Amino acid sequence: MKTFIRKRAVASGLSLIGLIVLVFFLSRLTGDPTSLYLPVDASLESREQFREIHGLNDPILVQFFHYARDVLSLDFGDSIRKARPALQVVLEAFSWTLTLAAVTMLLVTVAAIIFGALAASRVGGVFDRIATFFSLIGASAPDFWIAIVAIVFFSVYLGWVPTSGTGTVWHWILPVAVLFIRPFGLILQVVRGSMISSLSSAYVKTARAKGVGPRPIIFVHALRNAMLPVITVIGDQAAGMLNGAVVVETIFGFPGVGKLMIDSILQRDFAVVLASIMVTAMAIFIMNLLIDLSYAVLDPRIRY
């Protein structure tokens, strides 16, 4: 187990290095940020000074060398836009995104497992049809459209919840609800499919022959066996959310990492772009590791 974690850490470290190289050079290809930050009529001297301060005059390889050296000591440089350490800016935004993703995924997982398992227990029944119908709609509806309609209806027309921002619990309801819909539909479908095959297995037959009741058969005997593919999809969806739910965050004015990344790219705030990519990449690496470990917890046949 420990060797497995160590191997995975090394492999992920290598991909992080690759990522730094790639993103650093790609972002430099987008051009010089000087003209974006200084007024159009700024003098040549002040432009030169700006470049000098931010190290933009050095050859690109030297810039990269400096950057890499700083990253090793967890110094990602300063945000040009906010004039603060980039890592600090990113971690602030990331904590918002992490909370949003964690709350949403927790609700999604619990709901999708319960509804998916119940739908699978009576395939073709009324409950199954309703669940399948709504999960298909959920999985295929575009979130930007749902977000806008939800704001118009619940915030503007009914006035139940605020349109945007993060002040109170009420502010969280719409973003969480909108983010909930798509992964809920997807995961419900996976739970349902996986449960159907699990429920028709020989060990479920054994349980029925033992006299085990319908509820423990679904939630004790079948569910744990059906969880492996479900965990994979949960991980995939959670990774998407950790990368920042860009559209939803923008529409609800939510100060998460997705919105931060888009803003920084548009403003060529390279330090922040790189720092956000590193932070989300780290988060996704840790999450994938947790998922692999949870396979082993759920299924004793899997050992690393």
- Toward another protein, which CB reaches closer, 13 or 125? 125
- Toward another protein, which CB reaches closer, 42 or 212? 212
- Toward another protein, which CB reaches closer, 86 or 118? 118
- Toward another protein, which CB reaches closer, 56 or 298? 298
- Toward another protein, which CB reaches closer, 6 or 205? 205
The nearest distance, CB 210 to another protein, in angstroms, is 4
The nearest distance, CB 191 to another protein, in angstroms, is 16
Cα torsion 79, 81, 82, 87 to 10°: value is -20
- Toward another protein, which CB reaches closer, 35 or 200? 200
The nearest distance, CB 114 to another protein, in angstroms, is 19
Binding mask 196-225 for another protein (x = CB under 8 A): -----xxx-xxxxxxxxxx-x----x--xx
The nearest distance, CB 301 to another protein, in angstroms, is 5
Is 129 an interacting residue with respect to another protein (CB under 8 A)? no
The piece of 52-60, 160-168, 195-203, 288-296 that touches another protein (CB under 8 A) is 195-203
Q: How far apart are CA 253 and CA 247, in angstroms?
A: 10
**Count of residues of this chain found to bind another protein when the rule CB under 8 A is applied:** 21
- Toward another protein, which CB reaches closer, 128 or 269? 128
The nearest distance, CB 291 to another protein, in angstroms, is 17
The nearest distance, CB 225 to another protein, in angstroms, is 6
Q: Which residues 271-300 are close enough to bind another protein by CB under 8 A?
A: 298-300
The nearest distance, CB 136 to another protein, in angstroms, is 23
Q: Which residues 57-76 are close enough to bind another protein by CB under 8 A?
A: none
The nearest distance, CB 140 to another protein, in angstroms, is 27
What's the Cα-to-Cα distance from 286 to each of 126, 159, 199, 289, 293, rounded to whole Å?
40, 40, 32, 5, 11
DSSP letters along the chain, please?
-HHHHHHHHHHHHHHHHHHHHHHHHHHHHT--SHHHHS-TT--HHHHHHHHHHTTTTS-HHHHHHHHHHHHHTT---B-TTT-SBHHHHHHHHHHHHHHHHHHHHHHHHHHHHHHHHHHHHTTTSHHHHHHHHHHHHHHHS-HHHHHHHHIIIIIIIS--S-SS-SSSHHHHHHHHHHHHHHHHHHHHHHHHHHHHHHHTSHHHHHHHHHT--HHHIIIIIIHHHHHHHHHHHHHHHHHHHHT--HHHHHHTT---HHHHHHHHHHTT-HHHHHHHHHHHHHHHHHHHHHHHHHHHHH-TT---
Q: Which residues bind another protein (CB under 8 A)?
A: 201-203, 205-214, 216, 221, 224-225, 298-301
